[in-house]
C-alpha cells in the first residue's frame, strides 16, 4: 500500500513540475506586463513562504535553528533570487517559450557540477549532450543576428544561462544542507529568504520607488495569483520534495517537458513565434537533456530505475536535505 501511495505522490509531483512549471513561463511574462519583475517575484515568494511556514508551524513542526535558516537562505538566494529573479527579469526581453528552451539546458549543469563535487565521472553521453545543447542554444540565438539582436536578446540569453547554472548548484547543495526534516517547512523558509532578497533588490534597483499599484492590470494580478498558488506552493514544493525522494539529475528532467509546454502555451495564448527555427533548437536542446540525463552517469541511470519504486522511500521517510538517498 505504501508503494502505491509513493508511486501516486511521485506521479503528482512530476506532473506539477513538468506541466505547471511549463505554464509559469507565460504566467511570468503576463505578470511583468504591469508589475516590475523583482517586485513581482519577491511578492509571490514572500506570500507563499509565509503561508507554508505558518501552516507547518501550526501543525506542530519544531522551530528551525539558526543553522537551518542559514542553509535555507543560501538555497533561497541561489534558486529564487538568482534563478527565478533572473528569469523574471529576462522575460522582459525574451518570449516565454524561448526562455524555457534556454533554461532547458540546466541538466547539463546538474551532471557537470555533481561530477566536479566528486560524483561519478560523466560518460560519452555527456559529451554528446554538451555538443547538442550548445548547438541548440546557438541555433536559438542565431549568431548571424546577434549584432542587431533580431531574434533573441543576447544579454537576456546570457543571464538565463547563468541563472540555470546557479539553479543547478543550489539544487545540488540543498541535498547536503542542514535543514528541518519537514520539506514543507524548509521550502517555506527558502521562499521567505529568497523572496525577501528579491524585494530588497527591487528596492535597491528603484522598482518600488517608481511602482504605482493603480497601474497593475487585472491580467497581471491574476497571473501573480496563479504563480503564487501553482508555481510556488504546488510546483516549487513538489520540486523540493523530488530533490529529497529521488536525485537532482532525475528531478531536473522537468526540462524535458517545460519547453514544449511553454512554447505551445505561448503560441496558443500569447501569439508567440513557433517556427522551424525554434523547432530545430527545441529538438537539439531536448536531445541534449535526454543524452545527459539518460547516458551521463551510472548514478542517473540508477535513479531512472527508482521510478519503479523499488528503492525510493515514502515521503514520510524521505531523507533530509543533509542526507543521501539510496
* pLDDT classification of 281: cutoffs 50, 70, 90: confident
- Does residue 266 register a pLDDT over 60? yes
- Does residue 284 register a pLDDT over 70? yes
What pLDDT is attached to residue 269?
83
Within a domain: residue 324? no
- Does residue 305 register a pLDDT over 70? no
> Averaged over 158-162, what is the pLDDT?
92
Looking at the chain, the whole-number percentage of residues with pLDDT higher than 90 is: 43
Specify whether the CB–CB gap between 35 and 202 falls below 8 A: no
- Does residue 98 register a pLDDT over 60? yes
Task: Please identify which residue in the block is written with the cell numbers 513542526.
Answer: 61
- Nearest C-alpha neighbor of 243 from the set 24, 4, 79: 79
Question: Phi then psi for 105, rounded to 5 degrees?
Answer: -75, -5
Within a domain: residue 227? yes
* pLDDT tens, residue by residue, 119-154: 666 677 767 777 777 777 667 656 554 434 446 788
- Does residue 29 register a pLDDT over 70? yes
Q: What element of type H or E holds 187?
A: helix 183-204
* pLDDT tens, residue by residue, 2-11: 556 677 888 8
Cell of 220: 497581471
The residue with greater pLDDT, 221 or 138, is 221
What Rg value do the Cα atoms of the chain yield, rounded?
Answer: 19
Burial class (CB in 10 A: 0-12, 13-18, 19+), 121: exposed
What pLDDT is attached to residue 149?
43
Within a domain: residue 326? no
| CB neighbour list of residue 107: distance below 8 Å, 6 or more residues apart | 129, 168, 249, 252, 253, 255, 288, 289, 292, 293
Within a domain: residue 325? no
What pLDDT is attached to residue 186?
94
The residue with greater pLDDT, 324 or 63, is 63
What pLDDT is attached to residue 38?
98
Burial class (CB in 10 A: 0-12, 13-18, 19+), 167: buried
What pLDDT is attached to residue 106?
79
Specify whether the CB–CB gap between 160 and 102 falls below 8 A: yes
Within a domain: residue 113? yes
- Does residue 46 register a pLDDT over 60? yes
What pLDDT is attached to residue 52?
95
> Averaged over 216-239, what is the pLDDT?
94
Give the domain extent around 125: 10-317
Within a domain: residue 38? yes
How much is the mean pLDDT over the chain?
A: 81
Max mean pLDDT range (71-75, 120-124, 245-249) = 71-75
| Whole-angstrom distance, CA of residue 298 vs CA of residue 209 | 51
The residue with greater pLDDT, 296 or 172, is 172
Burial class (CB in 10 A: 0-12, 13-18, 19+), 210: exposed
- Does residue 182 register a pLDDT over 60? yes
Within a domain: residue 322? no
What pLDDT is attached to residue 41?
97
Cell of 61: 513542526
Number of domains composing the chain: 1
- Does residue 220 register a pLDDT over 90? yes
Question: Phi then psi for 28, rounded to 5 degrees?
Answer: -65, -45
What pLDDT is attached to residue 295?
60
> Model pTM?
0.77
| Whole-angstrom distance, CA of residue 317 vs CA of residue 326 | 12
Amino acid at each position: 500500500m505504501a508503494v502505491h501511495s509513493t508511486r501516486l505522490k511521485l506521479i503528482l509531483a512530476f506532473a506539477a513540475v513538468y506541466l505547471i512549471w511549463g505554464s509559469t513561463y507565460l504566467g511570468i511574462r503576463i505578470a511583468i506586463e504591469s508589475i516590475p519583475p523583482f517586485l513581482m517575484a519577491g511578492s509571490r515568494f514572500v506570500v507563499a513562504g509565509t503561508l507554508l511556514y505558518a501552516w507547518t508551524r501550526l501543525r506542530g513542526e519544531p522551530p528551525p535553528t539558526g543553522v537551518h535558516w542559514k542553509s535555507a537562505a543560501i538555497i533561497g538566494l541561489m534558486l529564487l533570487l538568482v534563478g527565478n529573479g533572473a528569469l523574471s527579469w529576462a522575460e522582459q526581453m525574451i518570449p516565454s517559450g524561448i526562455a524555457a528552451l534556454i533554461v532547458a539546458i540546466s541538466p547539463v549543469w546538474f551532471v557537470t557540477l555533481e561530477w566536479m563535487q566528486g560524483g561519478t565521472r560523466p560518460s560519452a553521453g555527456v559529451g554528446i549532450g554538451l555538443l547538442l545543447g550548445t548547438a541548440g542554444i546557438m541555433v536559438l540565438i542565431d549568431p548571424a543576428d546577434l549584432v542587431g539582436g533580431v531574434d533573441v536578446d543576447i544579454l537576456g540569453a546570457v543571464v538565463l544561462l547563468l541563472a540555470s547554472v546557479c539553479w543547478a548548484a543550489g539544487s545540488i547543495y540543498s541535498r547536503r544542507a542542514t535543514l528541518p526534516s519537514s520539506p514543507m517547512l524548509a521550502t517555506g523558509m527558502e521562499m521567505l529568504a529568497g523572496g525577501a532578497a528579491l524585494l530588497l533588490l527591487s528596492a535597491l534597483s528603484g522598482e518600488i520607488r517608481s511602482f504605482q499599484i493603480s497601474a497593475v492590470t487585472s491580467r497581471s494580478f491574476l497571473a501573480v495569483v496563479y504563480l503564487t498558488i501553482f508555481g510556488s506552493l504546488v510546483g516549487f514544493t513538489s520540486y523540493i520534495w523530488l530533490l529529497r525522494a529521488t536525485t537532482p539529475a532525475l528531478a531536473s528532467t522537468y526540462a524535458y517537458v517545460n519547453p514544449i509546454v511553454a512554447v505551445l502555451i505561448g503560441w496558443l495564448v500569447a501569439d508567440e513565434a513557433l517556427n522551424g527555427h525554434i523547432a530545430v533548437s527545441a529538438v537539439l536542446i531536448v536531445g541534449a537533456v535526454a543524452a545527459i540525463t539518460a547516458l551521463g552517469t551510472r548514478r542517473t541511470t540508477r535513479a531512472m530505475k527508482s521510478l519503479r519504486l523499488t528503492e525510493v522511500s515514502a515521503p514520510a521517510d524521505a531523507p533530509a536535505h543533509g542526507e543521501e538517498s539510496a
